[in-house]
Amino acid sequence: MIEYLAYLLLIIGSACSVIGAIGIVRFPDFYTRVHANTVVIVGGSILLILGSGISGGLNSFTAKAILIAIFIFLTNPVSSHALARAAHKSGVKLWSRSVADKLEEDKR
């Protein structure tokens, strides 16, 4: 039964990675690409790490994989936010068809 859970996590993680990679290539501007990158890291990498950790059975490797996944889950969204905010402050333009720029509105 635990093997099926591991395979399910690996399949979903692979799907998230593929979808996010397509988004990185296809999205029009830096900010939406950062979002796609976050999907790849948080959705794809964490599920792949957990799936590979569980597939070997419940042992110290699984505990280390869970700790790594928690660390990635906590740090990657923060770093993506900081990266996007720094890009906005340095003047990286939004896509021409963007609807709103909330950071610019907050400056006023």
Residue 102 belongs to a domain: no
pLDDT computed for residue 79 by the predictor: 93
Tell me which residue range forms the domain holding 30: 2-90
Q: Quick one: pLDDT at residue 95?
A: 80
Distance, in Å, from the CA atom of 86 to the CA atom of 82, rounded to the nearest integer, reads 6
Query: What's the confidence (pLDDT) of residue 56?
Result: 80
How many structural domains compose the chain? 1
Give the per-residue pLDDT at 91: 81
In the predicted model, is pLDDT for residue 89 greater than 90?
Answer: no
The answer to whether residue 98 is domain-embedded is no
Which of 47-56, 73-82, 94-103 has the lowest average pLDDT? 94-103
Does residue 108 fall inside a structural domain? no
Model confidence pLDDT, tens digit, residues 3-59 = 999 999 999 999 999 999 999 999 998 888 998 999 889 889 999 999 999 988 788
Burial of 9 by CB count in 10 Å (0-12 exposed, 13-18 middle, 19+ buried)? Answer: buried
